[in-house]
Chains A and B, each alone.
Chain A
Amino acid sequence: MFLKSLHLTFRTYSAMANSGPVESSIRSKLTSLLRPTSLVISNDSWKHRHHAAMRAQNGGSGETHFSVEVVSSEFEGKTTIQRHRMIHTTLSDELTQGLHSLSLKARTPAEVQPTSPEPQ
């Protein structure tokens, strides 16, 4: 039990060291919603520190602009808009609390690796 909590503490600590609370929250929510085969989250906030909207909140929290590339079979049979809406709904708390911009690439495993092999 002690080991487990130590492990947990370490994990929490290392997660915080690498990414902020918003990024962690995006990661955990998308992981549980989509069970993705691939999930890449990049924090682009630093590129936007000087734009008007961010200046209005003193450069923002440093967690305002993210790009997410996610691959999940949950997207099968859904349009791009529907896929984005799934993600927006899951992250609605973040989006109303300072997450200013979310650039999304939502694909199914089949779309990442086209199944029909191209003849050489």
Chain B
Amino acid sequence: MFRTSLRSSLRIVRPSAPAALAASRLVAARRFLSDDARAQIQKAVTASPMVLFMKGTPDYPECGFSRAVIQILGLHGVPADKLKTYNVLEDPELRSGIKEFSEWPTIPQLYVKGEFIGGCDILLGMHQSGELEDLLEKNEIIPKVEESSEAPAS
């Protein structure tokens, strides 16, 4: 998106110097994720059992896909203290850095115990198949549902 604006500002000379400057910085960040930036992101993805990079905040999502992920996590009763969210709209470097880190081109991105799980489509699929619940339980993000259907107590 920023690259597009850079391109158009190069082709048609528009008075949008700050945008072009920001864009060139982003392009650089995109191509050369420094060791320092990578280390910072590594730290961020492990800052909490569950980490979500999104647009906006859980209370005010600024993108339908981010909103959908928050809703899915809400359905599973993920407690706030187990989930840390980063608003990539507030941090252009994080926004491009996280894409390079995960080699995944879109936001939102969910991490569990530092491992990249997926974006909105993947989470929705996992939610529908029951995989997400298993994952959350296995990682002790939500408590296991006690089921006594297999061996009813006598």
Query: Which A residues contact B (CB, under 8 angstroms)?
Result: 48, 51-53, 56-57, 61, 64, 80-81, 84-85, 88, 92, 95-98, 100-105
Q: Which residues of B contact A92 (CB under 8 A)?
A: 105
Closest 10 CB pairs of A and B: A98-B4, A95-B105, A80-B122, A104-B121, A88-B105, A100-B1, A103-B121, A57-B5, A96-B3, A81-B118
Which residue of B has the minimal Cβ distance to A81? Answer: B118
B143 to nearest A CB, angstroms? 26
Of listed A88, A92, A95, A101, residue having the most chain B CB within 10 A: A101
Query: Which B residues contact A (CB, under 8 angstroms)?
Result: 1, 3-5, 7, 55, 62-65, 89, 103-106, 116, 118-122, 125-126
Which residue of A has the minimal Cβ distance to B56? Answer: A52
Of listed B104, B118, B121, B122, residue having the most chain A CB within 10 A: B121
Known contacts A84-B121, A92-B105, A104-B121; A52 and B1 CB within 8 A of each other? no
CA distance A80 to B105 in the complex (A): 15
Which residue of B has the minimal Cβ distance to A53? Answer: B1
Known contacts A51-B63, A88-B104, A102-B106; A57 and B1 CB within 8 A of each other? yes
Since A81-B122, A101-B65, A102-B105 are in contact, a sample of 14 more A-B pairs with Cβ atoms closer than 8 Å, ordered by chain A residue number, is A52-B89, A56-B1, A56-B5, A57-B4, A80-B118, A80-B122, A81-B116, A84-B121, A95-B106, A97-B3, A97-B4, A98-B3, A98-B4, A105-B121
**Contact B1–A98 (Cβ < 8 Å):** yes
Known contacts A85-B103, A92-B105; A51 and B62 CB within 8 A of each other? yes
Which residue of B has the minimal Cβ distance to A44? Answer: B64
Looking at chain A's contact residues, the main secondary structure is mixed
Which residue of A has the minimal Cβ distance to B117? Answer: A81
Q: Which residues of B contact A80 (CB under 8 A)?
A: 118, 121-122, 125-126
Q: Which residues of A contact B121 (CB under 8 A)?
A: 80, 84, 103-105
CA distance A27 to B104 in the complex (A): 21
**Contact B118–A52 (Cβ < 8 Å):** no
Q: Which residues of A contact B5 (CB under 8 A)?
A: 56-57
